[in-house]
Structure formats: C-alpha cells, structure tokens
Amino acid sequence: MGGPQREFFRLLMIEVQTSMGIFEGKAGQVFLTYDQAALDGHKYFQAGRLIAWSVAHGGPCIKALDPSLYQLMCGQEPQLEQFDCSVLPDPDVQSRVKRILQCKTAEDLSALQKDLGDWISECGVPGIFSATIGEIPKIYAYVVKHYIFLRTAKMVNQLTEGMNALGTLGPVQEEQITGKRGGHDIQLGVVLNIEDKLTELTDLLIFITGADEVPTLGFPNKPSIDFYTQEAGMRRLPYASTCAMTLFLPRGITEEQELHNILNQSVKDSWAF
C-alpha cells in the first residue's frame, strides 16, 4: 500500500509504454502502433486493462497520448490542418506528410500527384488527382487523420475495451506539495528555486510519493513537509516517507542554495524505491 504501491504502478506504466510494442513516439506525443500480431494477441486489450488497473488503484496513466489522437478517440474533431507532422514517429510517413504541407503552387501539386497520388488515395483521399491548391489543407488533415487514427482504429477499440474492463476513469485532480512551518505555507518549488526544472520536480515527486505525477484519481491526501533537528556533529540528509507522502527537511538551514544542494543529493543518490 501507499508508497510501494505507487512505485509499482509507476514502473508498470513505464513497461506498458516502452516494452509491449503497441505504443510509439515520445512522451506526450504517443501513438498506437499498427501491429496485427499484437492485435490478434490482444496486447492492446491487455495494455488498456493494465492502465485502468493502475488508475483505479491510485497509480498513473501512460505518458501520454498525442492530444490530437486523444481528441479523435473521444469523438472530437481536432484542427488537423495545424497538426505538427514532425511528431510522427515514422520518418518516411513524416516526410510524405510534410511534402503535402509544403505544396504551395500548381507545379508543386502536379509533382505531388505524380509522386504520392496513389499513396494519398490509399489514405482515403480519392480526389487527390482532381484537387486544387485550395484543397491541400483539407487533404493534409485527411491524411493525418488516417495515419494517426483510422489506420489503427481496431487497435484503438481494443485498447479502449481493455480500459473499460474495470469501469470508467475519473478526472485528473491537481494537488500542491505544501508544508507548514510556524504557521506559514512553504511552496516547495520556490524554496528550492526549481520552478522551471520539470525533471527535478518529477524526481522530487518520486522521492516523496513514489509516483512521478499526480495520479489520475489524485493522492489520498496532500503531500506535506515536516522538519527535524540536526544532531550535533552530524550531517543528516533530507529523507521522505512515501507512504505518508512526507518530506523531512533539517531545521537551521538559512541559505536556499544549501537546502537545494542537500535535497538534490538525497534525491539523486536514492535508487528506485
């Protein structure tokens, strides 16, 4: 329970995203692979069920589906004319889609029809050979939609079925890590002067809670800060209880950089859970 459970699900979601072979792309821009063997083996269903299992037990989700793909999965219609094709994981597809985006003149269109017309038609755009320059943004959007969503529709459905196997998922809740000292709130990000260092904040969250993000269903209570008194002649580094989600900091340190240094040492020197 508590910290070990959050650590387990954090590591499980890393494995689901990186080792099952059903996701591709970098964190925040993840797409589903087109893998018929994985589909027949119900790997997408298994991944969906593991994700739901993690969320239902206070763990994280994967990091994270491409926003446009997620909107399409939810039945919405994102503005794919503005889709950033550089996030597509297949360099060959990325090059072809970029070629459509860069089509600006009649000569460009003629060359595009000659070189990629058949491929674009196979993406569900049969009117490419009679298209005009003004229709290029819509053609671009259709090709993107085909590649990131329609092509993998069966995979998406199987993943969704796996996630629904354990019921619905709740909304994300945002929490702050705060503590009290002498009646005053301490915003930890300000104390450590790492407001924009996301990697350090993620490492710190793991150190305190065992999780690398606020779980989808939120923490059972807010992470907190407590303080201890250094023993004479001793140098005790900051430590944490992941079950209680409490960070323990030494009293008597007045320099912000010194506090940052010893806390950073504690976080960096700790390995996994």
| Active centre residues (catalytic) | 243
User: DSSP code of 25?
Assistant: S
For the chain, count helices (H), then strands (E): 11, 7
Greatest alpha-carbon pair distance for the chain in Å reads 84
Cβ distance 184 to 178 under 8 Å?
no
**CA pair distance 158, 90, nearest whole angstrom:** 22
Enter the tokens of residue 178: 């705060």
Bridge partners, 238 (sequence order)? none
**CA pair distance 115, 98, nearest whole angstrom:** 13
Closest CA to 189 of 80, 198, 180, 35: 198
Question: Long-range contacts made by residues 69-74, C-beta under 8 angstroms, separation at least 24?
Answer: 69/31, 69/32, 69/148, 69/149, 72/145, 72/148, 72/149, 73/149, 73/156, 73/160
Residue 181 CA neighbour count, 13 Å, CB half: 17
